[in-house]
Amino acid sequence: MKNYSIWVLEYSRVVEYHKSGLVYAAHNEGYVRVPYSYVVIKGNGRNIMVDVGYNHKEYGKVLGERFNVVDWQSPSVVLKEVGLTPEDIDTVIVTHAHFDHFGNVEDFPNATFYMQEKELSKFIWAMSLPHQFQFLMSGIDPSDLLRGVQLAKEGRMKLIDGDVEEFLPGIDLFAAFDTHTYGSQFVRVKQGGSEEDSWVLAGDNAYQFENIEGKNQDGVLLPVGMATGSTTEMIFSLDKMLKLVGRDSKRVIPIHEQGITERFPSRISDKDLFIVEVDLADGEVSKVQK
């Protein structure tokens, strides 16, 4: 029995991205195409998102010119591909506070946002450090913090302390402290409550298949190329993800991996963005096969 449909929705992309930014120490291995995506989990009467992307209005020009980020589309355009609107989303699990994951909360007026407490508290601690430590507080937009204040006042932002099993029926949250960021988290979806039929949504603790499966699939775990945490913790966190899906690496979903379009049923929208159907709930109609 399957309770949840899971789609990975591309909302923008970088055409050429340094491979070394994705896989630790992958020097001189050129560039790859990197999709920017979020995940929709639909089922049990809920519409859940894992991360919300960023708001192009504020950064579009700079990102486009400096980083070759192209084809950004708003959540209303992207979610329409799976028959949803931003207003339908009731729950958002924020894997970490970087602006490209937490930078568009205003587009989801009915959602409650869940983030690890450590993600916020450690970033704010980092802000007490002098200028030379600036690297440690990178990726956080003050505008997102200010919007967070408003969300908290409205009771729409909640903090989590560590792992939460059965956060929602069949959905577990796992903390990955001191990895990509101070308080990253990832998500496990258990179909029918079964651990055998489950999926892990990795957040940015795995950018590519290579992080999880090793170079040439040799099984050696590789940390991501960009982090403020420990490479050791990243490797143990990758191992934990694999354990949670019975060591079937194909059940760990890295959202920045272009290859997921080949591993799972997918299609390209008329905006040239991909929709990947990781799994379908019983009775749900496919959004990629017409």
Partner 1 sequence: MIPLKGGENVKLENEVETLYQKMVSGQSLDINHKMIQLVDKEKSAIYFASLRQDFDDIKRVIQAVSGSLLLMQLGVKQDVSMTLSSAKESLVHTTDRIKDLVVPHGLKIHFDHLMYSVQALNKMFAKHSLGEDIYFMNDKQLEDIQRTLDLANSHLKKSSTFSMGLGMISLETSCFCGAH
Task: Give yes or no for residue 30 binding partner 1 (CB under 8 A).
Answer: no
- Tell me the closest approach of the beta carbon of residue 74 to partner 1, in angstroms: 19
* Pick 146 or 268: Cβ nearer partner 1: 146
| Interface with partner 1 in residues 198-237 (CB under 8 A) | 204, 225-226
Query: Which is nearest to 200 in space by CA: 39, 83, 91?
Result: 39
**Residue in the block written with tokens 């809920």:** 46
Taking the CA atoms of residue 189, residue 198, residue 84 and residue 147 in that order, the dihedral angle to the nearest 10 degrees is 30
* Pick 136 or 281: Cβ nearer partner 1: 136
d(CA 5, CA 42): 5
Question: Do 274 and 259 contact (CB within 8 A), yes or no?
Answer: no
Task: Give yes or no for residue 120 binding partner 1 (CB under 8 A).
Answer: yes
d(CA 88, CA 48): 9
Task: Give yes or no for residue 63 binding partner 1 (CB under 8 A).
Answer: yes
Task: Give yes or no for residue 123 binding partner 1 (CB under 8 A).
Answer: yes
Percentage helix, strand, coil for the chain under 3-state DSSP, each rounded to 5: 35, 30, 40
C-alpha 184: how far from its chain's center? 10
Question: Do 97 and 120 contact (CB within 8 A), yes or no?
Answer: yes
* Pick 96 or 287: Cβ nearer partner 1: 96
* Pick 137 or 164: Cβ nearer partner 1: 137
Joined tokens for residue 81: 């591909």
Question: Do 225 and 21 contact (CB within 8 A), yes or no?
Answer: yes
| Interface with partner 1 in residues 135-174 (CB under 8 A) | 135, 137-143, 145-146, 148-150, 152-153, 157-159
Among 25, 70, 124, 220, binds partner 1 (CB under 8 A): 124
- Tell me the closest approach of the beta carbon of residue 131 to partner 1, in angstroms: 7
Scanning 130-138, 231-239, 257-265, 277-285 for contacts with partner 1 by CB under 8 A, the matching segment is: 130-138
Inter-CA distances, 258 with 7, 20, 105, 185, 267, Å = 14, 16, 25, 22, 12
Task: Give yes or no for residue 29 binding partner 1 (CB under 8 A).
Answer: no
Task: Give yes or no for residue 14 binding partner 1 (CB under 8 A).
Answer: yes
- Tell me the closest approach of the beta carbon of residue 120 to partner 1, in angstroms: 6
Interface residues toward partner 1, by CB under 8 A: 14, 16-18, 21, 31, 34, 58-59, 61-63, 65-69, 98-101, 117, 120-121, 123-125, 127-131, 134-135, 137-143, 145-146, 148-150, 152-153, 157-159, 204, 225-226
